[in-house]
Amino acid sequence: MKLSKLITCGFVLAILFACDNNENISDETLIEVEAKAPSYIDLGSTTRSIRVKNSNTLLSKPKSPNAAQTYKVELLMAEYITAEGTGEMGNTVFFKNVGNKQLEGDFVPGLDLDGTTDISYYVDDNRPSADLAAADSHNAIDRAMSTWDDITCSDLGIFEVPYDGSDTGFIAAIFNPFVDEDLGGSFEYISDVMHGGWLQAAFFDLLTEEGDGSQFILGATFTIVFTDNNGDLIDLDKNGKFDVAWREVYYNDTFEWKDGSRFDVETIALHESGHGLSQAHFGTAFLSGGNEVLHFSPRAVMNAAYSGVQTSILQTDNAGHCSNWSSWPKN
């Protein structure tokens, strides 16, 4: 090994492993991959009025207990995770031109469309992957939601809205005019975190400026936020984050999905549900010479690329979750 390479390796490995012996990649040059700046995709106006029953929020009081309330919402952003061998790293895409104010979103107590500060989720079995029975994917997503619910610093009371066969997906409905196939969907609120199922390449291609997103995006979580009558986004609790109405998760059926091995549904569902619960990507990525494989330091569920089956929460995931949720619903 040349001295220069030795120095480079030693330096990078010192960051990565604090000089631990690492037999697997110690002989490779690791190059830090800089996170890309968020991109902006123009889908035109995504603002829609939605009608929600049984919701009593700070924005709308029902005249009678069961009266439907009207809210204005729109698509703010998406975060996507990539397959590890593609050399591409996950990124954030904005659909609302917010200039330099690229703020993220967060749930607000008192703006609960399901009428409770507990976190509801739904799994739409209408869009299964080509590779697994809908029940197997559904169970994997249930396990992922339970894993987040089991974190002891928070009390989210995560509960499932039972699948009822209805045509769900605000995001699917928003993207429908831009693709040839019918994505289904409806401009409706179903739950705080909605797992909308598996979609084809054309949908994921729309998530990158180059139109090639389906080649490396495994899954994406979309943040839908409240907007006022002027079309301005709301930050009712003034915490510097746009107020989230709900989030939707979609999985890329271009890849082969598995239950327990690459690409593992529970692993990606755990990552996407982390976004569903307002966590951003975490960890510095390194590319090892020659094989386009990304390594992360520290390893976390919220790393921006898939790097093997990971169905438990790691330290930084736990810390990020707790800083966001430990005082919920008192913010």
Contacts of 21 (CB under 8 A, 6+ apart): none
Query: Smallest distance from the beta carbon of 90 to Ca ion, in angstroms?
Result: 24
- Within 82-111, which residues bind Zn ion (CB under 5 A)? 90
Task: Name the site residues for Ca ion (rule: CB under 5 A).
Answer: 112, 114, 116, 192, 235, 237, 239, 241, 243
Query: Smallest distance from the beta carbon of 302 to Zn ion, in angstroms?
Result: 7
Between 84 and 112, name the residue whose CB sits nearer to Zn ion. Answer: 84
Asked if residue 46 lies in contact with residue 174, where contact means CB atoms within 8 angstroms, the answer is yes
Indicate which of Ca ion, Zn ion, none lies near residue 81 (CB less than 5 to 8 Å, by partner kind): Zn ion
Note the residue count of the chain: 331
| CA–CA separation, 285 and 293 (whole Å) | 10
Residue 285: closest CA among 7, 21, 20, 30 = 30
Indicate which of Ca ion, Zn ion, none lies near residue 326 (CB less than 5 to 8 Å, by partner kind): none
Query: Smallest distance from the beta carbon of 170 to Ca ion, in angstroms?
Result: 16
Indicate which of Ca ion, Zn ion, none lies near residue 185 (CB less than 5 to 8 Å, by partner kind): none
Between 10 and 298, name the residue whose CB sits nearer to Zn ion. Answer: 298
Between 60 and 215, name the residue whose CB sits nearer to Ca ion. Answer: 60
DSSP H/E element including 288: strand 284-288
Stretch near Zn ion under the rule CB under 5 A, chosen from 26-34, 72-80, 93-101, 141-149: 72-80
Between 158 and 305, name the residue whose CB sits nearer to Ca ion. Answer: 158
Query: Smallest distance from the beta carbon of 77 to Ca ion, in angstroms?
Result: 14
Burial class (CB in 10 A: 0-12, 13-18, 19+), 97: exposed
In eight-state DSSP terms, residue 71 is E
For position 114 contacting Zn ion by CB under 5 A, the verdict is no
| CA–CA separation, 174 and 44 (whole Å) | 10
Stretch near Zn ion under the rule CB under 5 A, chosen from 39-47, 64-72, 76-84, 145-153: 76-84
Between 233 and 270, name the residue whose CB sits nearer to Zn ion. Answer: 270
Between 28 and 79, name the residue whose CB sits nearer to Zn ion. Answer: 79
For position 81 contacting Zn ion by CB under 5 A, the verdict is yes
Q: Amino acid identity, residue 161?
A: V
Between 158 and 304, name the residue whose CB sits nearer to Zn ion. Answer: 304
Helices (H), 129-212: 134-149, 170-175, 201-205
Contacts of 215 (CB under 8 A, 6+ apart): 86, 88, 254
For position 79 contacting Zn ion by CB under 5 A, the verdict is yes
Label the pairing between strands 120-123 and 48-52. unpaired
For position 77 contacting Zn ion by CB under 5 A, the verdict is no
| CA–CA separation, 120 and 187 (whole Å) | 18
Q: Which residues bind Zn ion (CB under 5 A)?
A: 79, 81, 90
